[in-house]
Structure 1
Amino acid sequence: MVSAVSHGVRRVHASLRGALRAHSLENPAHRRRLDDGAGPQRSSCHGRWCDGCSGLEREFRMDRPSDAPPTTVALTDDRATDTRVSGRKAAMLAQLLRSGFPCADGMVIPAWIHQHFQERGKTGSDDGETSAHLERALDEITDVHHSDLLAVRSSSTVEDTNEASCAGLFTSVLDVRGATALRAAVLKCWGSAENVALPQRERVTEAPLMAVLVQRMLEPDAAGAAFATDPKDGDTTAVSVSAVRGRADRLMQGETAADEWTVTVSAATCVRNSYDAITPDQAVAIAELTRQVSAHLSCRAEVEWALLDGRITLLQARPTAAGDEHAVAWPAPPRGEWRRDIRLGEWLPEPVTPLFATWFLPTVDLRFRRAQWQRSGVLVPKPSYRLLHGWYYHSPLGDRRSSALLEGMLAHPGFACAMLVSRHRPSITNRIVVAKQTAALENHRLSCRALLGTVTAGFAAMSERVVVDFVNRVIALVGDCLWPMFLVGGTAWRAEEALASYYEKAILPELDEPYHGLLVDREQAEAVAPHAVSTLDWYRPTLGEVADGSGPQPRPVVSEDDADRLKELCLAVLSRRRTDPARFNRLLTLARDTARMRRRYTGNLTEPWPALRQALLRLGTVLKERGVIDCPEHVHFLTYQELRTALSHGSPARRQELIAHRTSTWARQRALRPPLSLGTAAYLLPLLLGRPVVETDGRISPDVLEGIGVSPGRATGRARLVDHPAGAEVAAGDILVVRSLVPALAPLIARAGAVAADVGSVAAHMSVIAREYGVPAVVALHSVTQAVQDGDVITVDGTTGRVHRRGPVR
């Protein structure tokens, strides 16, 4: 890079000032004078170069060229290692480059020019001098990088410290070409020094000085990040490596998943493989480089890297800030059991985004708790959910004790008795509870469709206030229907549980077939709705947005004739045992009827989601036009209050830097392994709701994971890890490995050989779908998405609830 800079500067011999500057930087004698203090002194003014006189006028003195402060500094220049000159990000790279690390080179516009810009801006006395300094810097850079694509990165004097990373607060601009675009990118970096979120997050009282690092854009074969993990288990060598094909900017923005590796001295383990971006040897080399950077910095380090033609290049490096720990804690609440696989938890298989967390969840939870109090007498005055590192946890009683249940029993004894006998006499629960709740759900369904009918022409012509009002009305309808929907779903589960218990005692000893085939009937063979979702969070597209609809619609594998045949076999067994079949027939009819209702109303829950996403996209478009965000989809990473403020103000503050931080945080949270439950359940709660699954680590041996079998049968095939149905490649017979069974996965489940999921329950909507399709399924495995690699041969046994790794079971 030094020779490139030297060559570029020599090309402007017509400028005496440029020639003298080049001579000053390259002449060892002059460099020694600078280092020894004979030249300009580095004052305490964050990188402003002066020699005791008044300000920057010394730059224009031609009698002492070594006194002129540089308008650009190469990373290979010793002065670039000074954070007051280059900012922390660039200075870190310069220090590593000087120590022999394979860093990408670059040129720095030093912080003193930004300081000059700030001072002139405060006094309003800009006489063009700052512009002249900046233009000179831009000329020097464009002279070296004539038509190169450039990365223009902020490098402030306060970021990347052991105490604060300032991640996402300052701006970097990629794919910059030409002097005009370069000038705009530099001004954008300078502008991010005024980020209003900086004092709130990092307790910085004044805008920091900002150097700007300019580097040639790389087009690598693979890229990503790596960090030295917390040695809490005594292993000081562990490194986590994330990798994608090509450039890593979408990964850093949280817009894509990555291959995830854990590398120790003894082994490199791929815990998630989506792209085959790097080989095990390359993962080991990246990890070793990360350890060397950590040793050099004398702390745990995080790096960004790129792989080009087999060579690893460091793009950035920083200490892992104390407040930015990758080994996070999951503290148990002081009271109650909080689970992520019940209520909305089974619909939220990943961390929620800020807009969903601050708009949808509070309103829905409030209306749910109100309906619960009105119909069951159980009052939960505080939110019944918590977000830990973005993950949703729910507790039916919140932080209240069992006394809340006793109060409810006294207030509504009929409801309490119906729930208590539901396992043994589900017909009583059906008569007392379900009839009323079904009517309520039908009213909500009609109200929702009437509301959707008002927006058939779209949202383009609507004002922002009308769009926000529409979203609020939809959220209110969803909140009102959740309580009756969960009651109907719970009754269906108890009816099936009662049928299964009777079947096990009276029929299974003579008929070695699972009961699940009895539950398929003609009315259940329906197409998957286009509004099916992979998560309730409206950030993700619906099935209709990611599927072209040209493929065959899934249908149950277990046919109606098979169900009728199994029923006749059951009646024959009862006849041989001289048992009255009336109870069997009642249980079967009730289980089928309630399962049908559960599927109808649960499937309708997300019917407004396509319209909701269009409404939010409309609001995001408005904010993009006002300069608040860079693209409409970023609206999901604003809070509700920030959205309302931005819509109501004539000149709203720009939020893109804050959004960049939030998307990066969200991406890191998605890689966490949250526990299934936290805390201890209230004493009486299992009596009414059933005993929750006791959490284990899901392993009974190194090669066997154990969960809950929700659909019987056994299948062996190639594991396919799927984060989202969009672009998922699942061939017939593949084993679908997911975080949670959600409705948008139905087309994939229909052609999969089997399904394995981290979370779930027997009563979950998609567990029922798996049984209808005749696909073996095991849920509540807790860590199958991390224990199994994409492409592994595994066996899923839905009858025993086990997943066997490394080939079929003999």
Structure 2
Amino acid sequence: MGIDADRLAVVPLTAERAADATLTGAKAAALARARAAGLPVLPGFALVPGQGSGTALREAWEGLTEPLVVRSSSVLEDTAHASMAGRFATVLEVRGWEGFTRAVRTVLDSAPGDGSVMAVLVQPMVRSTVGGVMFGADPVAGRRDRILISAVRGGPDQLVGGSAQGVRYQVTRLGRLVRTEPPERRGHRVLGRRKLARLVQLARRAERALGGPQDVEFGFDTRDRLWLFQARPITAMAARAVRGARLLGPGPVAETFPGVLQPLEEDLWVEPMSHGLTLALDVAGTAPRRLLRGAPVVLTVGGRAAADLRLLGAVPSAHPVLDFVNPVPGARRASAAWRVGRLRSALPLLALDLMAEVDQELAELPPPGSMLSGELLAALSWGRAVLSALHAQESLAGALLDGGAGPTATGEALAVLAERRAAGDGDGDGDGELIARHPVLLALLPPAVRGTARLPEHTGWTGAPHGVGALPPREGLRLRIRWVQEMQARLVRECAARRRAAKGGGDALGELLSLRWPELTALLEEGREPPDLAERRPRPAVPELPTAFRLAADGQPVPERLGHRKSAPGGGQGAGGGRGTGTAWHGTGPRPDRAVLVVRSLDPALAPRLPGLAGLVSETGSVLSHLAVLAREHRVPTVVGVPGALERCPPGSEVTVDGTTGAVT
């Protein structure tokens, strides 16, 4: 089917209005701006909706040298927020008037059905001896001091289409080559140093002309001339950690707080844990006080708990040699030795006294429904203070006493539950009553104010209960921590019930959970609400935190690779998107709930399947290909260049994909 030439106006790239993206689309407008700035852009024109003439269109077509390339230039693609890479039509090797009109119709037919402007970009097609994609910054590592270039022999369409992996170069903004993957032999390089230098200069000029680092498609023709085929802003730029940011991770606190905590839960539980661990580290002399005073040992990121891995000794020191010759740690430990020596013998009795105090306070606590508001607040405040002491002693008990012998609170709870299930108690509807009779069962449940998790139906546990009194000090302290947390949760629920009754309904519990501790105190003591309380919303569920990370300037976690491995075993090149685990799916048959799509190549036709994927693994392809760009935008963990991925990850197998390290396990 032909085209109605009278409804298409011709806008040459040299025209001033060609730089208007609302008229010619983002792709043509960027090339028009780049050409006006003196960058090596081929001649051409854009076809836009409007009053035109067949004569003008034919003259514009005759003014270009065949073969031609006819591409989309939508207002939706190549923007700072979404690249829409490869989503609309491109026709290569266009010859003759009939071929040209068919190509224009093909592009127009690929327009979205939302009525947005779709222009058609027409330029000569260059026979590239070397082509590729260049990013003016590293979108995977979030580094603006690096330029990434992926190149192949021939045209760049092999890379953006995902059919070739190419050679990847990482260079500085001054043109110094940092890394080549895979390594090249001298005399067989796709890009020599002169070509690399010209590309770096092009990246810097494009950044100045277009207002930021660009995702550029380029090609060197048979006369070694460099051409800029396309430029768009880099989307899905990964965050980069703040210089000097601490190494964090869920580490030992994830098992205590496995889910997303609301603000009040943080202040009730995470803050006392952090204070208690700080006291324990100070007493043991394992960390300098300036570090302990400067930042919390435990904090939350997006509501998920994380700890300072170095302060807790979960990772080796970053400077072991300097630590060895530094006299301060030795002096600090010597000053703490006397305290620790006395504490080692006294700690069991101190723990017994603290547990007895907690047991007595909990036993004497009136039912929440009979307590006054002041009594509720006093009990919550006592809980915060005693949790700090419990966490401190629990940490010291684990470090100074023999914590590996004897029963555990979890084992005791499993044994009790198995015994009660065998007796027919707690068939799933009576968990609350069962927990009330056997509080040790709380060791099986994470703390939560809103609702209580269900106990397991069947545990398979065969041990016999020893009784809470038989627990060693550390396990007894851990159990009391859980009891105090549950007491606080019930008190907050009582406060919410009263507030809901006074207001005549509404999500009173959600409102209380959005408060910080000082705000809750003001509300219970003075009846004073924060002015924005009605606008606050519960924190949404967010993905689990990386095993190790540092915080970026915007507070987002930036995964950190621990150790010094140059490449991940069994993996490939990390293309970003974070880390995810799911079920391997080859794209055929029913899609699993959390699917990890494993493919041979990064076909842009797979783009509609990206949303909701737990991961993407490809045997071939480039981290700069269209599909990899789109995957990063959808925050899909992506790894490319994984040999034998289809055979290694058969459908139905569980796969973990790390888009930072490139590991596929």
Q: TM-score range by the shorter chain?
A: 0.3 to 0.5
**Could you tell me the TM-score, scaled by structure 2's length?**
0.38
Q: Which has the higher contact order (CA 8 A, sep 6+)?
A: 2
From the two aligned structures, give the one with the greater helix fraction.
1
User: What TM-score results when the alignment is normalised by the length of structure 1?
Assistant: 0.32
